[in-house]
Structure 1
Amino acid sequence: MIALSVKFDVAPEHVEAFRVAVLQHAKNSLGEEGCRRFDVCIDPEDAQRFFLYEMYDDKEALEVHRAADYFTKFGDTIENWVTDKDISLWKLASATAADAV
């Protein structure tokens, strides 16, 4: 399993539109066979900061995600709304208690 974390800073005038778009993007992504988790988080102290936590079976599943039409559409939609973006790829070190259930 691999995890992807993405932090977005969004211009204040686009926060609500970004929220709607990113939640739809998460819903679309969760329909992919290899996408196991897609959480959208908002900083409780700064509504302009969003954090995504995504889990995929493997790099191939992530590539399927990145090749999806809605991925491109999401990127095009938010391109001018985002003031900063940070992406990190992670490898799952061990199973969690939730995985064992």
Structure 2
Amino acid sequence: MMFAICVTFRIASKQMEAFMPLMLENASASKKLEPGCHRFDVLTDADKPDQVFLYELYTDSAAFDAHCDSAHFNAFSAATADMVVDKEVTSWSMVAS
């Protein structure tokens, strides 16, 4: 069973240049260091220049919990706390077909 996480960040004015390298570093570390992380896409929309959308795919909710407890995630969260105006997180479980 797969477990998907969707995150929408709204980034403070003039903070995107500082935020994006940290976001990409976190995504890369997640894919390399976490065996339960199968996908970590970072997406933007030119019509929404203050937003970043993440699509993450994990083996299960425990793998996502491990991600949230990881050193790289906690470092990213601390480093970007003042850059993020709003963050919406939704989770989705795959339905067996």
> Above 0.5 in TM-score?
yes
Q: How many residues align?
A: 95
Equivalent in the alignment of 1:84: 86
Structure 2: unaligned runs, 5 residues or longer: none
Mapping of residues 33-48 of structure 1, within 5 Å: 33-48=35-50
Equivalent in the alignment of 2:14: 13
Equivalent in the alignment of 2:65: 63
**How far off is 1:84 after superposition?**
0.9
Residues in 1 aligned to 2:47 and 2:36: alpha-carbon distance in whole angstroms: 33
1:73 matched to 2:82: no
Equivalent in the alignment of 1:3: 4
**How far off is 1:75 after superposition?**
0.4
What is the root-mean-square deviation in Å for CA atoms of aligned residues?
1.2
**How far off is 1:93 after superposition?**
2.5
Runs (4+) off by over 6 Å: none
Residues in 2 aligned to 1:71 and 1:45: alpha-carbon distance in whole angstroms: 28
Helix, strand or coil for the counterpart of 2:35?
coil
Helix, strand or coil for the counterpart of 2:56?
strand
Amino acid corresponding to residue 64 of structure 1 in structure 2: A
Helix, strand or coil for the counterpart of 1:12?
coil
Amino acid corresponding to residue 43 of structure 1 in structure 2: D
Q: From the superposition, tell whether residues 50 and 94 of structure 1 become closer, same or farther in structure 2 (CA, over 3 Å).
A: farther
Compute the TM-score of the two structures, normalised by the length of structure 2: 0.92
Q: Percent identity?
A: 35
**How far off is 1:94 after superposition?**
5.2
